[in-house]
Amino acid sequence: MSKAIHPLGDPMRSIPPALIRILAPTILLVTAFACGKGPGEAGYTSGVPWSYPRNLASWKTTDALDPVVAVDHTGDVLVAWHGRVDSSSHSGIWACRYSSTEYWSEPAALSSTSSDAVDQRIAVNNDGLATLVWVQATSPSSIQSYHCSPLDGFTSLPDPVSLGTGDVMTPSVAMDLYGDAIAAWLQSDGSHYHVWVCRYTPISGWGSRIQLDSNLTEEARNPVVAMDPSGNAVVAWQQSTNLDLGPYSVKACLYGVGSGWSDVQDLHPGFDARNPAVAMSSAGARVFWDSASDATSHVQICTRGYTKSQGWSDAHPLSGPTVNSHFAAAAMDAAGNCIVTWGQAVRDASYAVMATRYSTSSGWATPASFEHGLSHTSLPVISMNPSGTAAIAWSQLDESSSNIYAVRYRNDWEHTFQINLEGSGRAYVPTVSVGASGEIWATWNQPCVDTRYYDVMASALP
Task: Tell me the per-residue pLDDT of 305-363, one tens digit each, with 9 for 90 and over.
Answer: 999 999 999 999 999 888 889 999 999 999 999 999 998 876 655 678 999 999 999 99
Residue 294 lies in a domain: yes
**What are the tens digits of pLDDT across the range 257-314?**
999 999 999 998 778 999 999 999 999 999 999 998 887 888 999 999 999 999 999 9
pLDDT at 396 (0 to 100):
84
Q: Which amino acid is at 311?
A: G
Range of lowest pLDDT (7-16, 202-211, 241-250): 7-16
Question: Does residue 5 belong to any structural domain of this protein?
Answer: no
> Does residue 275 fall inside a structural domain?
yes
What pLDDT score does 37 carry? Answer: 35
State pLDDT tens for residues 415-427: 888 898 876 668 8
Q: Which residues contact 444 (CB under 8 A, 6 or more apart)?
A: 67, 395, 404, 419, 420, 427, 428, 429, 430, 431, 456, 457
Q: What percent of the chain has pLDDT over 90?
A: 58
pLDDT of 205: 95
- Region 94-113: what's the mean pLDDT? 86
Per-residue pLDDT at 348? 55
Q: What are 156-204's pLDDT values in tens digits?
A: 788 999 998 899 999 999 999 999 999 999 999 999 999 999 999 999 9
Which residues are within 8 A (CB) of 330 and not within 5 positions of it... i.e. 6 or more apart? Answer: 277, 278, 279, 286, 288, 338, 339, 340, 341, 382
52-to-77, 105, 182 alpha-carbon distances in Å = 16, 17, 35
Write down the mean pLDDT value for the chain. Answer: 84
* pTM, rounded to two decimals: 0.88
The rounded distance, in Å, linking the Cα atoms of 415 and 407 is 6
| Domain-embedded: residue 116 | yes
**Domain contains 319:** yes
Distant-in-sequence, close-in-space partners of 399: CB < 8 Å, separation ≥ 6? none
Q: What is the CA radius of gyration of the chain?
A: 21
3 in any annotated domain: no
Q: Within a domain: residue 2? A: no
CATH of the domain at 35: 2.130.10.120
Decide if 195 contacts 246 (C-beta within 8 A). no
**Backbone angle region of 394, left / alpha / beta, with phi > 0 → left and psi within -120 to 50 → alpha:** beta
Q: How many domains is the chain partitioned into structurally? A: 1
Task: Determine the structural domain holding residue 46 and report its residue range.
Answer: 18-461
Does residue 9 surpass a pLDDT of 50? no
Residue 150 lies in a domain: yes
Length of the chain (residues): 462
